[in-house]
Amino acid sequence: MPQTDYQANSAEVPPAATLPPLRQPASRTDRVRDALRQAILEGALPPGKALVERELAEMYGVSKTPVREALKQLQSTGLVEPNAYQGVSVRRPDNRLVQELYTARCAAEPEAVRLAAVRLGATPHAAARQALQEATALIGSGETRGLGVANRRFHRALYTACDNGFLCGFLDQLQDLTAFVAGLGWRLRATWEEEAAEHAAILTAMEQGDGPLAERLTREHIEKAKQTISRALGDAPGAGR
């Protein structure tokens, strides 16, 4: 079978250095989406809260079009869901969501962390350690609104080091919903310090290049979080509605 010559037409394509960089400012849709995302993750917009396009457009000083597009993007992440009034509301997590979400994480993340530890070997992991320090500082100050995002940065710093685009892409899709569910669980039952200790143990195994230990600790951490959040949601008033 003849081989395709991928270089045959390379002369027709200008070198990357001659192409102008993309410096387009963030769109109104992006700004609205990011503001709503932050409000949802920090609990300012609670589960079940209806998100009305007209009200949001007035609040942010934009037309309804960027609000509508922002809500569509948030729906694709799982943070909002359709409601009975042909609009959308902040998602109301239940135990089924927790089980499915954390089972999906458990199927992929421990293996990604193991591959990352083997790939990097025994070496400091600056990005993960910085994220862990930021999370620890938030816990110490009592300012825990941004803790979910800091924890997601920690987990992402670990699993992206595996350098497997398919694994990372799959886990990235779960990031916002994981931060949302974890944040809701903490508001019902605070487990910040326990999770911080578990993160520290995972990072130690990672920096020692111990792939099997890092994998086991990550799996145990995710499974424990699943059980804790499920119990917290089960104890919450109106759970399962």
- CATH number for the domain spanning 79: value is 1.10.10.10
Mean residue pLDDT across the chain: 87
Are residues 109 and 71 located together in one domain of the fold? no
Angle between helices 28-41 and 53-60 in degrees, nearest 10:
110
> Does residue 10 belong to any structural domain of this protein?
no
Specify the CATH number for the domain of residue 162.
1.20.120.530
pLDDT given for residue 84 in this prediction = 84
pLDDT given for residue 123 in this prediction = 96
The tens digit of pLDDT for each residue in 58-68 reads: 999 999 999 99
H/E run at residue 51: strand 50-51
> Does residue 9 belong to any structural domain of this protein?
no
Are residues 82 and 123 located together in one domain of the fold? no
Are residues 154 and 196 located together in one domain of the fold? yes
Question: In terms of residue numbers, what domain contains 49?
Answer: 15-90
pLDDT tops 80 at residue 3: no
pLDDT given for residue 24 in this prediction = 55
Are residues 100 and 86 located together in one domain of the fold? no
Are residues 104 and 47 located together in one domain of the fold? no
The tens digit of pLDDT for each residue in 158-186 reads: 999 999 999 999 999 999 999 999 888 88
Give me the number of domains the chain comprises.
Answer: 2
Q: Per mean pLDDT, which range of 138-142, 206-210, 225-229 is the poorest? A: 138-142
pLDDT given for residue 239 in this prediction = 47
At which of 90, 108, 143 does a domain end? Answer: 90
Per DSSP, 29 falls in state: H
> Does residue 4 belong to any structural domain of this protein?
no
By the 8 A CB rule, do 153 and 131 touch? yes
> Does residue 6 belong to any structural domain of this protein?
no
Task: Give the full edge-to-edge strand order of the sheet including 50-51.
Answer: 50-51, 88-90, 80-82
